[in-house]
Amino acid sequence: MPSCRTNLALAISFLCLTVPIWAHAILLKATPSVNQIVSGPTTSIEFQFNSRVDGKRSKLTLIGPDGHPRALAISEQSSPNSISSQATELTPGSYTVRWQVLAQDGHITRGEVPFKVR
């Protein structure tokens, strides 16, 4: 009959093996980066995460100087851990990209990255 210590060790081992599966998508790198100044009228947007994300169920929204949101089409994924798009017709001013991704664990993660166009 297994002891309590053996059962506890087995339970901890199981949890250590399954924790990465439960990890939410965490933003590792953004292009443009937070508060970066870019040249318009077009800029590439890319977000890299620590885990796989579903590009077809993810969203990118650009908020311009006028405050109106504009959906950005997500490009074909070059990596399972990233999403990207092209922002066009940018005029000088402050912008924010709002991102929402569906991670491999089934959870949605959101965030935003402000940047400026000169």
pLDDT given for residue 7 in this prediction: 55
β-strand pairing of 108-117 with 36-38 = parallel
Cα–Cα distance for residue pair 12/9, rounded to 1 Å: 5
Q: Which residues of 1-17 are buried (b: 16+ CB within 10 A; e: fewer)?
A: eeeeeeeeeeeeeeeee
Instruction: Please state the pTM of the whole predicted model.
Output: 0.79
Q: Where does residue 117 rank: exposed (0-12), middle (13-18), buried (19+ CB within 10 A)? A: buried
Compute the average pLDDT of residues 62-67: 98
Banded pLDDT at 5 (limits 50, 70, 90): low
Mean pLDDT of the chain: 88
pLDDT tens per residue, range 8-56? 454 454 444 444 455 689 999 999 999 999 999 999 999 999 999 999 9
